[in-house]
Structure formats: structure tokens, C-alpha cells
Structure 1
Amino acid sequence: MSLGRTAVVLGGSIAGLCAAGALAPHFDQVMVLERDDLPADAEHRRGVPQSKHPHFLLNSGRRAISELFPGFEEELIAAGGLHLMPSMDAAYLEGAGWASRKRSSMTMVYSSRILIERVLRDKVREVSNVVIREGVSVRGIETVHGGTARGRVTGVIFATAAGEERMDADLVVDAMGRGSSVSDWLVAAGWPEVPVQSLDAKVTYTSRWYDLPAPEDRPASWWWQHLVIMPTQDKGDHPPEHEFLVNFFPIEGGRTIACMGSWGIDMPRTAEDFVASAERVRAPLFAAAMAECEPVSDVHLTRSTGNKWRRYDRLPEVPSGIAFIGDAICAFNPFYAQGISSAAGSALTLRAHLEAATVSGRPLDQRFFRRFLADQRTGLKVPWGMAMARDRGYECATGTETLPSWQRKLLAAMTWPAFNLIVGAAREDAVVDEHFARVFNLDESLGDMLKSPRVLAGLLRYQVNSVLGRRKVPSGFDPREDPPATDWTPGVAGARAEMADAR
């Protein structure tokens, strides 16, 4: 049974495409309105400036997209995406030094944002009742009874090269990102202003794309494919670049994205400054790796990184006829790689509610949208809480969610020790590792992880063993040297002998 003739999605980026997949089984036609002319291949476009930076596709996101579009993951890998195990394939520089390699429960698919979108567009175009209209600029929404219990969005107004058009809709999905004007249009139609939670930790990041050397021409020490350099935990004097979070991020086509980011520090904008800054980060391997590669892009800088949650669920009368997906409702600091997965998760939640309405025959009334917003809120609390746990600790942060000075200082003092404890314990305890992987991939909240008696026991055991000098897996290898290639997975030949040597 169809829930209506037409559903309209505002925006054809990842959030909008996921929403189209959720809507397609329940409406006769799904119309996606996109401002850009969409490329046939994996190419950058004006509406997605962040495509120039690394994008992690977390497990929750890749699983959600694959549920909406079966075969997505396989096609992404066939198109060049890399299926890797970060604990084995990434060189990771934490506070004290290089971490050890070791098998873990987490794998990831690495690719560029533009490849993810291209594969996803191809999947959407296979759905017979979804139409993508390109070169369309959405100008407004049509409503009735704004701000009342009967208030509803009934259609959209948009402009094309031929002029202005109106389209009736049984359901509208706002997927227009951080800059969406829908909340302003709702106010103009009679709804009160939407409450907004915000926290901007002044994150800036800058990236440049490189061609990697052919595999046979790479240095013998390059066992790794992904290079991560965490900010220093040293409180003494050091160059600003030691505060950078650095990625040398592998993507399809034998390319990599070199990326540096920081909280509240000016970042390089030119190629010359980019290389100079890279040479001052706290591991020389980053600049050395860049020098082995061929740059193929300019330097791209992004400042639009604040966390922002439009709390439509807190309106006295939520509008019917409209749902909100992706950054249009909740945008995160991109450092934490939560945006794609959160958007795909919200689309899955919407699909579940539409399926329930189809089975029950209930209308898409205010009760439906209030229930959806409540369920969506539950899913968004997990990534939002993770972003707050880190960004609230920075003195430069502004917004509604900032903390009093004493709380901020306490959080800042606790963050690194807690992180080090969890990461260290995860290397030695399979249960802690599994829970930590779930938290990283947005399948579990940090609070729920820390409620597990088994996890708490693992953390305590690791802390005691650390004090007694009984760690099973070494760490803290000299950041000025190449990261060690030894596999410290239990049972791997030679690991115990090298552990003895390390002591």
C-alpha cells in the first residue's frame, strides 16, 4: 500500500540519497531536487566543498546504506574502495609514541567522499520511482495551519532555468545541510523558532590530494596504508603543529589525502605553507611520505565545523508532512566522522516508521512525526554526546553547550587519560576492543560501554598491569622513527620474543 503519491527530497547529497532510498517503497514517486548538476563520475561539485577532505565511512553508516541499497558496499569496493583493518593497516601515533600493530574486531572501507556519492547515485538511479532533478534551487515550502496541531507542509517551491514551479507533496524531507533555510520558512509560516543546541570548538582543517608511488616504488618501511598522528599531550613548549590531528588517508585510484586539522589554530592555506607545516608535525614520517608522492590538487581549507542540533522535537506543535535528515537537523564537527553514518541511520529510522505506518494503515499525521523525531533523537544522542565530550574541553569553544570554566578544565584534564586507558586496554582485552569498536562506529554510546561490568574489569586489569609493568602489548615507540611493523596479535610467531627485547 502506498502512503501517498509524491514525496520530495530537498538535496541530492548523501543524506538526500539515503532519504530517497527510505521513501521509495512507500510512495508512488520520489522526487529529489538538487541545486548542482551532478557529475556522472566521481568528481567534486560546488555544493559539497567538504568532499576535498577525508571521509570515514563508519561501520554503522556502511551497514545502514547497504540496508537501504543492497550491494552498495560491494560496489564501492569494486569501484576502488579499500577494505582495511585499521589496527593492522594504519600506523597510529598516540600520546607517548607509535602504537603496536594488532588484529582487532574492526574493519573499515576507505574511499573518497566523491566515490561514495557516485556509487550511491548509481544505486538510486536503479530505483524506478525515484527521479533526480538537477539544477533546481529550492525557494520555499507551502504549508497550511502553520504552528497549530493541524499544521502541515504540503509542498515545495523551486526555481529552474525555465522559471518558478510548485509541487504538491505528501511528505517532504529536508536534506539541504547546515545551511538549510527550512527552519526560517517554518517560522514565516507560523511555527515558533526552532530551539538550537550549538558548540563550535573553532576546528579548522586543511587537505591536499596526492598520487601515491606505485607499490613497487614505495619505501620498504611502508607496511601501512593509513597514517594517523594524534595531537600531543605534552603541556610544555612545542610548535603549534604538534597540536594538529593529522591523517594520510588512503583512497581509491592509488591516491591519498594529506590532512591537518586543529582546534583554534590558524592553518596553512598555500602549498608552500602546507608543506612547511607538515615538516613541523611531531612525526617526520608525515612530511617524508608527502615528499614521496605527487601533489594533484590545491590546498583546501574548511572552517564550517561547529556542532549544531536543530531541536524540532522540542517544538510545542511539530510540523507534519516534513522530516529532517543529516546536517539539516544535526551537524557535527567533521573530525569525528559522524555525519554520513548519522544521516544514513536517520534514513533507516524514517524507513522503519514508514513501514509501520504502511502495515498499520495509520496516517502521516502529527503523531507520526512526533514519534519519528523522538526515535531519531535517540539515535542522534550517541554521536552528539561523543562530540560534546571532546569539544567542550576547549577554551576557544562557543555556543549554547559550553561549560563553566571549572567544568571545562576538569573535562579537559580527564579526556586524554580516559582515552589512553580505553585505547590501551582495547589492545590487550578482546571484550574492551569489541565495545570500543562499537562506540567508534556509533553502534554503542560511551556511557553504555562504561556500564558494562566486564569492560570496567578490563580497564581496571589493564591499569593494574600497567602500574606493575605487565602489559602484554608494547606501545610508545619513538615518533621520530618509522612505526614498527611487528604484528603483536596473540599467538603470532616472534611477538613474545620482541616483547622481551622491548622491555
Structure 2
Amino acid sequence: MTDRSTLSTARTALVLGASMAGLWTARVLAEHFDQVLLIERDHLPADAAPRPGAPQARQYHILLLRGLQIMQDLFPGLEQELIASGAVPFDVTGDVRLRSRGKWLPQFPSGQQLLSCSRLLLEAAMRRRLRQDARIRFVEGAEVTGLVTDAARTRVTGVRVQRRDAGAATQPDEETLHGALVVDALGRRSPTPEWLVGLGYAPPEETVVDSFLGYVTRRYRQPDNFQAGWRMMLITATPPHDPRGGLIFPEENGVWVVMMAGANKVYPPTDEDGFNDFARALGPEYYAAVQAATPISKPIGYRGTDSRWRHYEKLERWPERYVVLGDAFCGFNPIYGQGMTVAALSAVALGEEIRRSQGNLDGVARRAERAFGKLTAGAWLLATGADMEWPGTVGGERSNGLSDRFGRWYIDKVLDAVAVDPHVRIAFNEVNQLVSPVTRLFAPDILWRVLTHR
């Protein structure tokens, strides 16, 4: 094994993985370290192109309102750059044609603006910004094979990497890269549980909730002169009897992404006839829009949508200087679009812990994991609470206690009020967009409107 690290270890941070969680984290850590190495298994494209290590990037992704706010803070002007590249801004109530619980909801301007674009475009724009930062260096084509620790195995001091050069006749030696802080942003397939066991630590407990949801996406050329009064159409499933839902949202370059989903193993087909039949079952307005557009790709199916929380925040022993965040910490059912935003919140929380440490990084990792546990809880409640409404869902806990029965009854009343009361709907959106905690729905102004709603 060779050690080719020539950087100052004390002022270097290592980020493992260059997907969204890694990009957020590298940007935040650049405020606290002289050098940030962003280590990625793939050779990254220069533009908005797919890559082997992120096949899910072609599926539906959106940055929730809280995530967009963080992007505006960490990457000033990037929103305007994305719009110039074709991203579509839209008002979450004014520009969205929404059918919820079988009823079309009224459209009205809310002032809550999101951005619709492909994840490929978003990641490419963020990478471009990070490459312009002299503090950040991409280490591409490098697969992380293990952690490096001190002799007592109580502190992570770096990682071992194997270069992935397709044209090489022989595999090169492993390299060791050292850093004062190492962050695992490797996603759902993170090997950290195995690495911890190899170092003598306990693996984390896991909580898994699976509603057996599958979805399929297909890209279309938007129809010319299409007059619909919306930029996005959303058909929500209605538990427990109607597991089908659908979405049409715009991407750059005049593309529509048609996404259809089904819970409880009601998986949308990927063959032509089955795809169209599923679209037809979502109603005449949805089906007419799909038929008016021109398909430019084949339908691509996706399953494996469980929500999986690895409870690192609960471990009694934890190595110093090692952080796990993003999907490696908690992966959400992607239908709710929370993953990229929770990753951004986690990166910001890590930065806050480093700032509070005043230069002493010992203890930062443990405190950060606990902070991630707290900020994850709200998004987890939203995602798994919705999934638990399906009778075939496994995992989680179904309680029939008084408080739980009241909670379900009250949320049902909130959803009724959302259909007719703009004030309640905006508050509900704030919660779903991770701008406000769930307790916002129990504030006096909302509580009164919900309970007096007729």
C-alpha cells in the first residue's frame, strides 16, 4: 500500500460520494477546512449527463422549498443559472393542477415557489460551482475500500481508496488519503455498518417501513401550444382503497416527465399498453395530457422504495471524526421527494456543530449524528405516516392508542380543510416542504380553521 497524501491532514476534510449529499457537504465543509477532497467512484460528466453510480438520477426528483432556500444561501445565484438553463419555476398552488382524495383543488397564488428540473441538471450546476472553489478538489475514479483509524481504533483518520482506471492493464496499489474529518455520503448502499463491525463497533439498528410502492417514469416532448392553466399536474393516491397516483412535471429543454406510481404492489407496467392503461385509469384530464405529448424515452420502472433509517444517533460507541449523513443515514421513500432536502439540512447541521466546536473536532461527529436524528424525525413522520395508511405496509408501528387515533382523525380533518381553505393549505405545504415542523398544523390559527371547517 502506498501513501500518496501530501495535504495537511489537520486542515483537510474527506467527503465520500459526490451525489447530492456529498455536494452539499463539500460546500459546507469548505467554510471550515483549507482543503476538501470529494472522493467519487465514477468519473463525473462535465454536463447534465447520467453516470453509472447514480442510476436513480433519471427518476423523479425535486428540491423542496426548504432545500431551495438552503441552495440559495450556499450557492447564491444558482437558481437563476438553473432557470437560464431551462429549469421551470412554479408556484406550488397557483401552477399545480392537484387532485387529492378524488377532488380537484382550487389553484391560487401562494408565494411558495419551487423549481422543476432534472437532478442531472442540478447536480451538474452544483459540481460546476464547487470546481470553481479552490478549497474543493474532486478525486474521481476512486473507490473507497475502507477506513483508516488510529491504533486504538477510536478515531477515523482517513480512508483507503482504489483507483478505477478502465484502461489500466493492472490494478494500482491502494492509496491512503488522510483527513481531520471523514464524511460518508455514499447513499443507501453505504458500507459503514460493515466497516464499523470490522473496527469492533456495533452496527446500527434499522427501522424499515415499506409500502411496496413502485413507480415508472417516461419522458415526453411537451405538446406545442398546450393550453392547460398548469405547469405541473399531480394525482395523489387515496388510502386505503385507491393506490394509484400520477405526476406530470416539466424539465429543461421542453420535456415533460410523466411519472405514475402504485402502492401495495400495484406496480405500474412498463410495456406500452400497460403504461397507457395505467395512465387512463388516473382520469381523463391526466390521460389527455399524456396523449397530447410525444414520447421520447421508454418507460423506466423503479422499486425498492422503502424508508430505511439506520439509527447511528443511538449507538453508545462512535469513532471520533467520522460522520454519516444523507441516504447513508436515512433513506426515504422517494415518492415524497425529501431526500435531497434532508441531506441539505444535515450538511448545514454538521457545519453548525463544527462552528460550535471552536476548532476542537472531537465530539463533533457524535453530536452531528444526534442532530441528524432530530432533524430526520419530522420528515420520517411525514413519509412513514403516509405509508402506514396502506394495509399492506410492513414495518413501523401501528398504534391504536387514544393519542394516535386523535392524530389520525385530526390529519384527516386537515386534509378536508386543505381542499377549501387557502390558509390551511399554505400551512400544510410549509410542513410538507420541510419549512415548518408538524406542530405548525396544531397552531391556534390552523386548529380553529380545521375544527370549524364544514
State the TM-score, normalized to the length of structure 2. Answer: 0.90
Q: How far apart, in 2, do the equivalents of 1:226 and 1:411 lie?
A: 33
2:452 is the alignment partner of 1:451: no
Q: How far apart, in 1, do the equivalents of 2:105 and 2:128 lie?
A: 39
Deviation of 1:23 (Å) = 0.9
Secondary structure, counterpart of 2:281 in structure 1: coil
- 2:271 equivalent in structure 1: 270
2:213 is the alignment partner of 1:213: no
Secondary structure, counterpart of 1:15 in structure 2: helix
Q: Is the 8 A contact 2:159 2:177 kept in 1?
A: yes
- 1:164 equivalent in structure 2: 174
RMSD: 2.4
Q: How far apart, in 2, do the equivalents of 1:415 and 1:457 lie?
A: 12
- 1:193 equivalent in structure 2: 203
- 1:497 equivalent in structure 2: none
- Stretches of structure 2 lacking an aligned partner (at least 5 in a row): 1-7, 166-171
Query: Superposition pairs for residues 20-99 of structure 1, below 5 Å?
Result: 20-99=26-105
Pair 1:230–1:433, CA change in 2 (3 A): closer
Bigger shift: residues 270-279 or 27-36: 270-279
Pair 1:433–1:92, CA change in 2 (3 A): closer
Deviation of 1:453 (Å) = 1.2
- 1:420 equivalent in structure 2: 415
Q: Which amino acid aligns with 2:68?
A: R
Q: Is the 8 A contact 1:209 1:258 kept in 2?
A: yes
Secondary structure, counterpart of 1:249 in structure 2: strand
- 1:372 equivalent in structure 2: 368
- For residue 181 of structure 1, the aligned residue among 191, 194, 202 is 191
Q: Is the 8 A contact 1:105 1:433 kept in 2?
A: no
Q: How far apart, in 2, do the equivalents of 1:422 and 1:436 lie?
A: 10
Q: How far apart, in 1, do the equivalents of 2:397 and 2:296 lie?
A: 40
Q: Which amino acid aligns with 1:457?
A: W
Q: Which amino acid aligns with 2:268?
A: M
2:389 is the alignment partner of 1:398: no
Q: How far apart, in 2, do the equivalents of 1:181 and 1:332 lie?
A: 18
- The structure with the larger Rg is 1
Q: How far apart, in 2, do the equivalents of 1:397 and 1:43 lie?
A: 35
Q: How far apart, in 1, do the equivalents of 2:180 and 2:128 lie?
A: 26
Bigger shift: residues 335-344 or 285-294: 285-294
Query: Superposition pairs for residues 120-269 of structure 1, below 5 Å?
Result: 120-144=126-150, 151-160=154-163, 161=165, 162-214=172-224, 216=225, 218=226, 220=227, 222-232=228-238, 235=241, 243-264=243-264, 265-269=266-270
- 1:4 equivalent in structure 2: 10
Pair 1:419–1:245, CA change in 2 (3 A): farther
Secondary structure, counterpart of 1:44 in structure 2: coil
Deviations 1:463-495 (A, max 9, x none): 1xx2xxxxxxxxxxxxxxxxxxxxxxxxxxxxx
Q: How far apart, in 2, do the equivalents of 1:298 and 1:111 lie?
A: 19
Q: How far apart, in 2, do the equivalents of 1:456 and 1:415 lie?
A: 9
State the TM-score, normalized to the length of structure 1. Answer: 0.82
Q: How far apart, in 2, do the equivalents of 1:233 and 1:341 lie?
A: 26
Query: Superposition pairs for residues 430-445 of structure 1, below 5 Å?
Result: 432-445=424-437
Q: Is the 8 A contact 1:51 1:113 kept in 2?
A: yes
Q: Is the 8 A contact 2:248 2:259 kept in 1?
A: yes
Deviation of 1:404 (Å) = 5.8
Pair 1:256–1:158, CA change in 2 (3 A): same
Secondary structure, counterpart of 1:347 in structure 2: helix
Q: How far apart, in 1, do the equivalents of 2:58 and 2:351 lie?
A: 30
Pair 1:416–1:378, CA change in 2 (3 A): closer
Pair 1:454–1:404, CA change in 2 (3 A): closer
Q: Which amino acid aligns with 1:123?
A: R
Deviation of 1:146 (Å) = 6.2
Q: Is the 8 A contact 2:12 2:180 kept in 1?
A: yes
- Stretches of structure 1 lacking an aligned partner (at least 5 in a row): 236-241, 467-503
